[in-house]
Amino acid sequence: MRNYFLIFIFLGLSFESFGQALKIGIASVKESSFSNSVVQIDSVAAFEQTQRGETYLMPFIKSEWPLSERFYFSFGVQYYRSYLSLAARYTSESFPKNIPFISKGRSTSTNNFEFPLGFSYLLVKKNQVRIFLELSAVPVWSIQSFTPLDIDVPQGIDWTQEILDVINAVETIPNPFYMNYQYGVSMEYKRFGLTLFRTANMSRSISNDYQLYDQEYNFQRRIRSTRIGLYYSFGLKKEKN
């Protein structure tokens, strides 16, 4: 609720404070995660369950200032919630032969606040249709929301304190701040716009690494997303033909 509240605050700001044009919209984020890290602790292997296209919703606002006839400076805020899922696959000599391994897991969610800062280039302007090319650098603040699994252990042949600790340590992975870049194209007709852009990480990994029992393990992960959204543009100054 706190996150939605922040968005309403942004939306509630006076349009005059945003310059030439204010665009408000909502996008669908199709995000894929990539991780090549496996943390091996004794007979337990912990790894991220990589996602191949999870879809999230993302409200966004963006303000633009003209720098020249075709170049615009843009700044915006966009928010979405994503998930990081860690799995632990493990074996034990006590397991029966028909159970070579058992897998458990836990997810944590991050509330991602992104602040794209970049430029737009007006590529086409014909009648009331305008097409922009866009490129932005995007600082991202990720606020994590995690509920650890709390069960009595040991339990059965599958749950031990170690396994519980391993999957609850998913909490240590998300990095609270990282940088993205995004590029894309927007097409506007009158005040309605359709935008399509891709976002990727600037650095090789956005992980904070994996920490368990005061030991830090290298844990590389990246995310990439394709976003498509619709927006409405509030032009504060009517352009003169």
230 binds another protein (CB under 8 A): no
Question: Of 39-47, 146-154, 197-205, 221-229, which segment contacts another protein by CB under 8 A?
Answer: 146-154
36 binds another protein (CB under 8 A): no
Asked if 236 contacts 17 with a C-beta cutoff of 8 angstroms, the reply is: no
E-state strands within 115-190: 117-126, 129-145, 177-189
Report 41-70 residues binding another protein (CB under 8 A).
49, 52-57
227 binds another protein (CB under 8 A): no
169 binds another protein (CB under 8 A): no
CB of 151 to another protein, least distance (A): 6
Asked if 131 contacts 187 with a C-beta cutoff of 8 angstroms, the reply is: yes
Q: Which of 56, 106, 59 is nearest to 82 (CA)?
A: 56
CB of 96 to another protein, least distance (A): 5
85 binds another protein (CB under 8 A): yes
Pairing relationship of beta strands 52-66 and 117-126 according to DSSP bridges: unpaired
CB of 196 to another protein, least distance (A): 18
Asked if 111 contacts 71 with a C-beta cutoff of 8 angstroms, the reply is: no
What is the spatial distance between Cα 189 and Cα 131, in angstroms, rounded to a whole number?
A: 9
What mask of x and - would describe binding to another protein in positions 91 to 130, judged by CB under 8 A?
Answer: ----xxxxxx-xxxxxxxx---------------------
What is the spatial distance between Cα 106 and Cα 74, in angstroms, rounded to a whole number?
A: 38
Strand partners, 56: 29
Q: Which is nearer to another protein, 46 or 206 (CB)?
A: 46
What is the spatial distance between Cα 27 and Cα 224, in angstroms, rounded to a whole number?
A: 15
179 binds another protein (CB under 8 A): no
Asked if 45 contacts 91 with a C-beta cutoff of 8 angstroms, the reply is: no
154 binds another protein (CB under 8 A): no
160 binds another protein (CB under 8 A): no
DSSP 98: T
CB of 218 to another protein, least distance (A): 23
Q: Which is nearer to another protein, 131 or 149 (CB)?
A: 149
161 binds another protein (CB under 8 A): no
What is the spatial distance between Cα 78 and Cα 136, in angstroms, rounded to a whole number?
A: 13
DSSP 191: T
Residues that bind another protein (CB under 8 A): 1, 28, 49, 52-57, 81, 83, 85, 87, 95-100, 102-109, 145-147, 149, 151, 156-159, 167
